[in-house]
């Protein structure tokens, strides 16, 4: 008689479906990050329609960026659609999206798990962006791409540490819900 030992089978976790808001948020993030970089190259081309797309990107950048004239010249004479402060904020959002994909919101640095305190900390981190902008206007320092990128990155990390779990978690975990979902309805 031959004995065989069955190999242990791994218990497969049921695959959780990805929320629709997660896919929509990722598409928007890709557009926000790639648009400002692509705009100068689209504007410089002679191909039909591409300069018009660049014009749309520049229009949006002019309405969200406080200093679009300070953007990098990626394809001279055309600038990125936003300054490095705004692009640093987008990079912070990309970093937090990557971190969320690694740990699914289980790490202690996700600010939404701390309720109102996490929201206040998020607001404090996001206010680093306008603080640096006003410090520059007040003459505390001159515009420097490294400085503004760092301040934008801090703001993006703070915002992303709060909103990424809200956008991408497929199931709510008890105690991890945002504070407004735990408030009693009138």
Structural domain spans, the chain? 20-171
Tell me: pLDDT of 48 over 60. yes
Torsion of CA 64, 151, 92, 20, to 10 degrees: -40
Distance (Å, whole) CA 143 – CA 61: 19
pTM over 0.85: no
Q: How confident is the model at residue 186 (pLDDT cuts 50, 70, 90)?
A: very low
Report pLDDT for 12.
Answer: 53
């Amino acid at each position: 008689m031959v004995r065989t030992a069955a190999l242990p089978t791994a218990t497969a976790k049921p695959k959780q479906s990805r929320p629709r808001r997660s896919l929509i948020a990722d598409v928007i993030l890709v557009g926000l990050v790639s648009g400002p970089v692509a705009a100068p190259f689209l504007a410089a081309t002679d191909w039909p329609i591409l300069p018009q797309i660049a014009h749309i990107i520049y229009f949006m950048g002019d309405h969200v960026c406080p200093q679009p004239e300070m953007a990098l010249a990626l394809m001279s004479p055309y600038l990125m659609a936003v300054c490095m402060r705004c692009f640093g904020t987008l990079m912070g959002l990309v970093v937090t999206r990557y971190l969320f994909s690694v740990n699914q919101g289980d790490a202690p640095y996700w600010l939404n798990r701390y309720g109102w305190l996490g929201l206040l900390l998020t607001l404090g981190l996001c206010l680093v962006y306008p603080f640096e902008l006003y410090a520059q206007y007040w003459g505390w320092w001159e515009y420097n791409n490294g400085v503004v990128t760092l301040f934008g990155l801090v703001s993006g990390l703070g915002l992303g540490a709060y909103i990424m779990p809200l956008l991408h978690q497929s199931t709510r975990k008890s105690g991890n819900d945002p504070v407004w979902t735990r408030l009693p309805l009138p």
